[in-house]
Amino acid sequence: MLLSLGWVTALVAGIFAIHIGQKLCFPYFWKDVFYLVRVIRYGLRMEMYKVTSNVCTVLDRFIQQAAQIPHKAFIIYEGISYTYRDIDDRSNKVAQVFEKLGTVKKGDTVALLMNNEPDFVCVWFGLNKLGCSVAFLNTNIKSRSLLHCFNCCGAKILVVGKDLLETLVDILPSLQEDNIQVWVMGKESLHPGVQTLLDKVEEAPGLPIPAERRAATSLKTHTLYIFTSGTTGLPKAAVITHLQSLKAAAGFWAYGGTCDDVVYIPLPLYHSAASLIGIGGTLHIGATCILKKKFSASQFWIDCKKYNVTIFQYIGELCRYLCNQPKAEGEKEHKVRMGVGNGLRQDVWREFHRRFGEIRMCELYGSTEGNLCFMNHIGKIGAVGRSNFFYRLIFKYDLVKYDMVKDEPVRNAQGFCERVQKGETGLLLSRVSSRTPFFGYAGSKHLTEKKLFRDVFVKGDMYVNTGDLMVEDHEDFICFRDRVGDTFRWKGENVATTEVTEILGLVDFIQEANVYGVQIPGNEGRAGMAAVIVRPGCMFDGKKLFEHALRDLPSYARPLFIRIQESMEMTGTFKQQKFQLVESGFNPSKISDPLYFLDNAEKCYVPLTSAIYDRILSGQQKL
Ligand SMILES: *[C@@H]1O[C@H](CO)[C@@H](O)[C@H](O)[C@H]1NC(C)=O
């Protein structure tokens, strides 16, 4: 008896010691294992789809859920609850309307321009049920760029939300010239040639469309196009295949989400975060989501308490706005346990925890079109992801040395890139292979090719250039440092410098423009700034430039600052020199060139005085 008791004690002590040792040496061991098991389970499922040529798509999953949990709330929007069956029925009706007209066939693309509302999802699913791809259009895109979107994805039909029809008025004739049918999600239309959809949907039978219409035999079949800002001046359509949409829909699940979760989606559905991860992720786990038309910082916690929200989606800016709200009683009394998103900065992260409690913040890294993703499943502050031996077996990525001045990766004497050491910042490249394919952009081989680097480490290899500078620390955490190249982020949107440059170049008194992003303390991302040369014999006209920017650029892409220069510096490879301009910022007391600031109240670019500069730095000036 004694002996056996001793044995048990020894065993318990041993396990305890192992547990402590493991905690000290590998503090993230169990979390890593839990996460890896999910990654591997997911990977096996994908492999099975490949072998059997029978893909269970996100839509298939939705239809399964609608059969299994028909009465469960799927989307709650403006206080009204829509069950899985409601959305299934209504999307059947949308499909039936188009089916009856016979205007679309399997493989066609239909464009969708809508703000967040349940019908966004119904139209998306309805068209997918017919085997059509859907192209999500960014509702901020200005008409000039919008026309181009139809060309790149080949859409011949546009479904537009009732509240957005007015923004299309000036391009309606051009759309008709191009034979693009416009359907408004309303019951009446005042514009000739615009057809109404809502009345027909309400009358249509809710009968399901036969499953073979939506059936997918390959993970590589296109299902969506999501527009991201382009580098040649116009938006480009990232191809979303079933592989990518399935991967994104597994996001909440990989973080441990279950059917008891309530997900809060305040981000726009035309971005992959809200649509693929938010809606896709909610239905994957059979949960409920609270869909918001727009994010409101003052409403956020009220909603979370009212609906017992457990998971919310964020971008870094959103958490900062929440922290900037006046303090209230009982800020930690809520059920939110997890945030999933991207771009949370360390200072905001800490403040967020301090104010609102220990909510696990799960950073997720991965571009819409990219073939790589990182997840910070540990919740370590400041990291976007975590790597380890197994992860590297699945995803092949590397960080290489980058020359900030020349704005390109360093190539050695043999012409190859060089990996950085642990702890050093490098450009993130992700290898293209059959397991991690890169689908690029619709309608443009050239744009796809521009994202690729060849002969990186050996002759014949191929990598996607993410354009992001990252660092991997000694604990295998991956942290974001900066974005390089032709784009920067502002207010949660990508800004393509070349797009802005092109638009500024259309102003008659501007001879040349060089657009870049500058950091403003207390703000995420970078604010747009343009160095311009004024045409000889012309004068800078702040009013005219303001009106031009207002008309042709979405609000987030309008340069906040203008710097007038005499001449423009070029790099050795005849690219515009940006590095020094970025470094020198926008401080009027340090820069001798005339500077201007976009003043929305004055509706004009006004001289940037020290007083304005101080107001910007102290956060008093609205940007
Ligand atoms: C939220 O949870 C509380 C307590 O668990 C419950 O009484 C309430 O009905 C829930 N509210 C909703 C909208 O589910």
Q: Categorize the per-residue pLDDT at 1 as very low, low, confident or very high, splitting at 50, 70 and 90.
A: very low
As a whole number, mean pLDDT of residues 266-273 equals 94
Task: Please name the residue whose Cα sits nearest to atom 7 of ligand 1.
Answer: 308
- Please state the pTM of the whole predicted model: 0.86
Categorize the per-residue pLDDT at 191 as very low, low, confident or very high, splitting at 50, 70 and 90: confident
Asked whether the predicted pLDDT for residue 117 surpasses 90, the reply is yes
262 lines ligand 1 (CB under 6 A): no
Q: Is the CB of 307 under 6 A from ligand 1?
A: yes
Across 99-114, average pLDDT = 92
pLDDT computed for residue 211 by the predictor: 93
The pLDDT tens digits for 326-366 are 998 889 999 999 999 998 988 899 999 999 999 999 998 88
**Ligand 1 centroid to 308 CA: how many Å?**
6
Give the separation between CA 586 and CA 597, rounded to whole angstroms. 10
- pLDDT value, residue 486: 80
Q: Is the pLDDT of residue 478 over 50?
A: yes
Which residue puts its alpha carbon closest to atom 5 of ligand 1? 308
Tokens 């006209």: give the residue: 541
Statement: residue 144 has pLDDT above 60: yes
Q: Which residues, at least 6 apart from 322, have a Cβ–Cβ distance to it below 8 Å?
A: 297, 300, 301, 352, 355, 356
For ligand 1, atom 1, name the residue with the nearest CA: 308
| Ligand 1 atom with minimal separation from the 307 CA | 13
Looking at residue 412, its pLDDT comes to 93
Q: What is the pLDDT of residues 366-419, one digit of tens each?
A: 877 777 888 888 888 989 988 877 778 778 899 999 988 888 899 999 999 999
Nearest CA to ligand 1 atom 10: 308
**pLDDT surpassing 70 at residue 164:** yes
Q: Is the pLDDT of residue 48 over 90?
A: no
Residue 360 CA, ligand 1 centroid: distance in Å: 21
308 CB within 6 A, ligand 1? yes
**Structural domains for the chain:** 56-249 (3.40.50.12780), 370-483 (2.30.38.10), 487-618 (3.30.300.30)
Q: Taking residues 56-67, what's their average pLDDT?
A: 96
- Higher confidence at residue 555 or residue 499? 555
pLDDT of 502 above 90 = no
How would DSSP label each residue in 444-494? -HHHHHHTEEESSSSTT-EEEEEEEEEEE-TTSEEEEEEE-TTEEEETTEE
CA of 307 to the centre of ligand 1 (A): 7
Q: Average the pLDDT over 542-564 and give the result.
A: 93
**Regarding predicted confidence, which is higher, 610 or 42?**
610
Ligand 1 atom at minimal distance to the Cα of residue 262: 14
Q: Is the pLDDT of residue 21 over 80?
A: no
Give me ligand 1 centre to Cα 309, in Å. Answer: 10
- Helix then strand count (H, E) for the chain reads 21, 30
Count the alpha carbons within 13 Å of 219 in the hemisphere toward its beta carbon.
20
- Residue 397 has phi, psi (to 5 degrees) of -135, 160
Nearest to 516 by CA among 495, 491, 547: 495
Q: How far is the CA of 453 from the centre of ligand 1 (A)?
A: 52
Mean pLDDT of the chain: 89
Query: Ranked by mean pLDDT, which of 196-205, 499-508, 568-577 comes out on top?
Result: 196-205
pLDDT higher than threshold 50 for residue 2: no
Mean pLDDT over 592-606 rounds to 95
User: Which pLDDT value is given to residue 192?
Assistant: 84
Structure tokens that stand for 164 in this block: 């957005």
Q: In angstroms, rounded to a whole number, what is the distance separating the alpha carbons of residues 437 and 476?
A: 24
Q: Is the pLDDT of residue 3 over 50?
A: no
Mean pLDDT of 42-55: 83
Asked if residue 81 has its Cβ within 6 Å of ligand 1, the reply is: no
CB atoms within 10 A of CB 28: 17
Q: How far is the CA of 73 from the centre of ligand 1 (A)?
A: 14
- Which residue has a Cα nearest atom 4 of ligand 1? 308
Rounded percentage of the chain residues whose pLDDT exceeds 70: 94
Query: What's residue 18's pLDDT?
Result: 60
CA–CA distance, 571 with 141 (Å, rounded to integer): 32
Closest residue by Cα to atom 3, ligand 1, is 308
The pLDDT assigned to 237 comes to 86
Predicted pLDDT at 572: 59
Of these ranges, 15-29, 33-47, 132-146, the one predicted with the greatest mean pLDDT is 132-146
pLDDT value of position 42: 83
Q: How far, in Å, from the CA of 5 to the mean position of ligand 1?
A: 48
pLDDT at site 436: 81
- Pair of tokens at residue 460: 């014949």
Q: What is the pLDDT of residue 377?
A: 84
Residue 237 and residue 443: Cα distance in Å, rounded?
8
Output the CA 531–ligand 1 centroid distance in Å: 55
Instruction: Tell me the pLDDT band of 4, cut-offs 50, 70 and 90.
Output: low
Please tell me the distance between residue 376's alpha carbon and the centre of ligand 1 in angstroms: 30
pLDDT higher than 80, residue 504: yes
The rounded distance, in Å, linking the Cα atoms of 556 and 492 is 9
